[in-house]
Structure 1
Amino acid sequence: MLSALGSILMKIHQIEGYIQTIYLVEYQDKLMLLDGCCRADHDIVLSFITQTLNRAIGDLKVILVTHMHPDHAGGAHKLAKTTGAKIAACNAPGHWYRGLDGMLMHWTDMLLALYVAGRKGKKKQNLFYPRKLRADHFLADGMTIPGFDDWQVMHIPGHTDRDIAAYHIPSERVYVADLMVKVKGKLIPPFPLFYPRRYRNSLLAIKLLQPKSVILAHDGELDFADIDFDSLIESAPTTPMTHWRSVKYKFKKALNIH
């Protein structure tokens, strides 16, 4: 599935990715990816640029990485190497997948991505990518994206400590990546959720922004008026929902430990 959203000056193309929607922003003289995709999406992106848009791969100037999960950062390095595009990310300190725990979590996240792909009926693909991001631009909250001054970055941590959103100022549309996901027609918090308090604040920040629409990594573009932010904030978890807590809970449940 592919579609284009936008005006003559700027279009946001929606491309079906391995397990997420790819958003490619097109201008007359440049292109930008709103996330780093999966490693498996590399050829899909290049094919769309060269065959569908009839553009040169060098027109891709910026790859935004909203956070480090496989479907948001997995293709960033490979695409940057192929196209010469610069990688832009949050200015959070250190690496997300640092240390031994980080290494284990990195592999767990790739396995979870493969599980999701299987649920979607997709064939297994190589999703391996570096756990340490080599970004060219580290963006503070409120900064504009280099070369794309009509896009402003917002820090929206919670899912991880370095999630960012991209707000297109002229059209008042905001890409929030995994800030929320739709399950059985209902919007809920993402999994994992490492920082519940920060997550609530991030939801509040988007609510107060009052954009015309909100673009999700897995569920397309929604009208702002159709999202019940108050309900999301009220029902959001108060304790972290992480890989290890989930395993521990299931283990205790299996042993009937209270």
Structure 2
Amino acid sequence: MQLHIIRGYIQHIYLIADQGGLLLLDGCSRADVTAVCRFIQQQLNRPLSDLKLVLVTHMHPDHAGGAHKLRRLTGANIACHPKAQYWYGGFMGRCAHLIDVSLTWWVAKRLGKPKRHIWYNPILKPDLLLEDGQRLPGFPDWQIIYTPGHTDHDVSVLHQPSRQLYIADLIVSVKKRLVPPYPVCHPNQYKQSLQRVASLKPAKLYFAHLPARVADTIDFDDILSQAPTLPKNHWHSTRNRILHTLGRQTRQH
């Protein structure tokens, strides 16, 4: 197994070369599709058809935005958790999708990146639905670990022989401190997922927005202590701001 790390628009892209072909550990953003294809053809000197599987860990723009286009260009299958295809469903889901695309541009601006085309279909059309414990088709050394909390459908993926684990957005960094991501839509599930990752005792952890780290250098208890007790997402933040403003106006009168 060979792991290749490609610098993405706002995240790390992990491309696996295995005996089953090429595996992409996340669907990246639409802005990353050209870079992935160029890497396969120019750096690995392989045809695009060697990309066999694109795993979507969750539906946010930098993890799912390139999946459909990559499938069109390469013929690869798309795999995700069964709940992923419903995340942006309905009117509220479409609103959330607009917000998440805007947040991606905001992050890109903070990183000094230009605004790029990242719009994608918010309703994923997967070829394969994978649940907790299942092995990736064609890549039996890789196992799905269901790690919800950030959304209701997040998955991580474990390379069993080497005990290396990709956890996408389960942990991020703010001011050089490891912290929970934003949003945390399901706080209790998030804490359980973090505890589960710790209990797996992986040799090494890979993140979407951080360099890889040896797992035993991570203070999971400190991250758990920062996890919210109530949902921390767009809707709750907006509601809380409205309630705070109304309360302040009431006190003034």
Bucket of the pairwise TM-score, normalised by the shorter protein: over 0.9
1:138 aligns with 2:133: no
Supply the distance in 2 between the matched residues of 1:34 and 1:220 (Cα, whole angstroms): 15
Letter in 2 for 1:12: L
Alignment of 1:172-187 (within 5 A): 172-187=163-178
1:39 aligns with 2:30: yes
Aligned-residue offset at 1:234: 2.6
1:147 to 138, 159, 162: 138
1:223 aligns with 2:214: yes
Per the alignment, residue 117 of structure 2 pairs with 126
Aligned-residue offset at 1:29: 5.4
What SS is found at the alignment partner of 2:239?
helix
**1:191-242 deviation per Cα after TM superposition (whole angstroms, max 9, x unaligned):** 0110000000000110110000111000021111111112212321100001
227-236 or 162-171, larger mean C-alpha shift: 227-236
Letter in 2 for 1:80: R
Supply the distance in 1 between the matched residues of 2:205 and 2:161 (Cα, whole angstroms): 14
Per the alignment, residue 200 of structure 2 pairs with 209
What SS is found at the alignment partner of 1:151?
strand
Alignment of 1:162-181 (within 5 A): 162-181=153-172
Supply the distance in 2 between the matched residues of 1:127 and 1:251 (Cα, whole angstroms): 30
Residues 93 and 116 from structure 1, CA distance in 2 versus in 1: closer, same or farther, beyond 3 angstroms? closer
Unaligned runs of 5+ in 1: 1-9
Letter in 1 for 2:210: D
Q: TM-score, normalised by structure 1?
A: 0.93
Aligned-residue offset at 1:247: 2.5
Supply the distance in 1 between the matched residues of 2:135 and 2:221 (Cα, whole angstroms): 28
Per the alignment, residue 3 of structure 1 pairs with none
Supply the distance in 1 between the matched residues of 2:102 and 2:138 (Cα, whole angstroms): 35
Per the alignment, residue 116 of structure 1 pairs with 107
> What percent of counterpart residues are identical?
47
> Aligned pairs, how many?
249
From the two aligned structures, give the one with the greater helix fraction. 2
RMSD: 1.5
Letter in 2 for 1:132: I
Q: TM-score, normalised by structure 2?
A: 0.95
Unaligned runs of 5+ in 2: none
